[in-house]
Amino acid sequence: MLQRFTARAAVVGDRAGTVVPDAVLDVADGRIAWVGPAGDAPRAGDALPGVLMPGLVNAHSHAPMVLFRGQGEGLPLDRWLREVMWPREARLTPEDVEVAMTAASAEMLRNGVTTSVEMYFFPEHIAAAVARTGARAIIATPILTLPGMPSFEDQLAAAVELAAGASGDGTVEYGLGPHAAYTVPLPVLRDVAAAARKHDLLLHLHVAETATEGAALLAEHGRSVPALLAEHDILGGRVLAAHCVHMDDADLDIWRAQDVAVAHCPASNAKLASGIARLRDMLDRGIRVGMGTDGPASNDGLDLLADLRLAASLARLAERSATALTAAEAVWLATGAAADAVGRPDLGRLEAGRRADLVHVDTRDLVFEPVGDPGDWLAHLVWSGAGRHVRDVWVGGRQVVADRSVTAVDTDALRADVADRAARLAAG
């Protein structure tokens, strides 16, 4: 069955910022079959009152942390983790995570995020949640030391076994998520990395999020964390490093040489006062970068479209240049670049053969006027747009958001359920 979409414009999601005015996009068997100007299309279709763009790819999230949104306000990262987050997380049940992920997935879909990289407990229940909402997820099974958790060896074996059982249909894939070099010993990281390369799994970890997290490793080894990861054969393969705020030139050169991708989380980095990542330097070196929200307890939102404005603003402030990050690049960081960063070439762009993950942004709003040339759509999306302007969403050609309503779940009931569970976890 052929589906046809016509729109005022189509934002392709490439680095050049290609915009097709008066666009037509055809979908067949869940993939894009044709996209281009209406005048060149094989036949006519029904018009959408806005622009089409690719489903956004959230390169780093702990989405079930909607249970902890707003908690620990004003604390630095280390105290926020140890005093607020980890005690609550120790009380989590699998059902808590599934309910929270279902609610968070619905929230992301309403904001145009069709795929997210998740690193959180009970990965099977995260998968069940996105299966319910109709979204996609890359789930990096967490590997770390917390009271009551199995040994590292057992955690790794279970994670590899889980990944082997994935359906392979592009909806859910599993990876490996060792938390960070300051929480997971280097020999364990080396074993996890070897398993990731052997089984072609995404290796996802936090790197250089704060200025002090690598101090003990630096004192012991005389090397930065990126240098230690390289020396211990932890890089190579599909590696996605979150944050990467405190990186010097040598660290960035390692990332480029080892083809390490970065999940850039400007909202979380700003809220927790972690710093401003060297985004322009990463892009100029050819490092793959994708936008991420981080968890909804450290952002505190899951609105990747709104975060584009902050990403562009911080990059321009850091470089003291109004061209440090263009609107086209900002949109690309949440679409095509993010898909490349997480190793999913089937997502992120409106191109024939890619999966039909589509977002319809309703542009019948003053913030989208005037439009003098196609590039104005990109500028308005970055500087004026937000998730509230997303009207409809399709994943693999299946509509999952219709006129701002998530089609598969009761969001009001989920909100009440999350509130009750969050209260229980906070009370202890």
| pLDDT tens-digit profile, the chain (428 residues) | 789 999 999 999 999 999 999 999 999 999 999 999 998 987 655 578 899 999 999 999 999 999 999 998 888 878 888 899 889 999 999 999 999 999 999 999 999 999 999 999 999 999 999 999 999 999 999 998 777 789 999 999 999 999 999 999 999 999 999 999 999 999 999 999 999 999 999 999 999 999 999 999 999 999 999 999 999 999 999 999 999 999 999 999 999 999 999 999 999 999 989 999 999 999 999 999 999 999 999 999 999 999 999 999 999 999 999 999 999 999 999 999 999 999 999 999 999 999 999 999 999 999 999 999 999 999 999 999 999 999 999 999 999 999 999 999 999 999 999 999 999 999 97
8 Å CB contact between 265 and 295: no
pLDDT of residue 166: 95
- Model-level pTM? 0.97
CATH architecture of 2-53+355-406: Roll (2.30)
8 Å CB contact between 279 and 315: yes
Q: What is the CA radius of gyration of the chain?
A: 21
In 3D space, the residue among 32, 69, 87 whose CA is nearest the CA of residue 349 turns out to be 32
- Is the C-alpha dihedral spanning 143, 146, 151, 154 positive or negative? negative
Domain with CATH 2.30.40.10 in the chain: 2-53+355-406
8 Å CB contact between 105 and 133: yes
Alpha carbon distance 51, 134 (integer Å):
22
Kind plus residue range of the DSSP H or E element containing 316: helix 304-319
Buried/exposed code over 277-307 (b: 16+ C-beta within 10 A; e: otherwise): bbbbebbeeebbbbbbbbbbbbbbbbbbbbb
Buried/exposed code over 355-387 (b: 16+ C-beta within 10 A; e: otherwise): bbbbbbbbbeeeebeebeebebbbbbbbeebbb
Alpha carbon distance 14, 337 (integer Å):
8
Alpha carbon distance 163, 179 (integer Å):
18
Tokens found for residue 243: 């944050």
Alpha carbon distance 145, 378 (integer Å):
43
Q: Which one-letter DSSP state was computed for residue 289?
A: E
Alpha carbon distance 315, 263 (integer Å):
15
- Is the C-alpha dihedral spanning 329, 335, 336, 338 positive or negative? positive
In 3D space, the residue among 104, 144, 119 whose CA is nearest the CA of residue 60 turns out to be 119
CATH architecture of 56-341: Alpha-Beta Barrel (3.20)
Alpha carbon distance 223, 229 (integer Å):
10
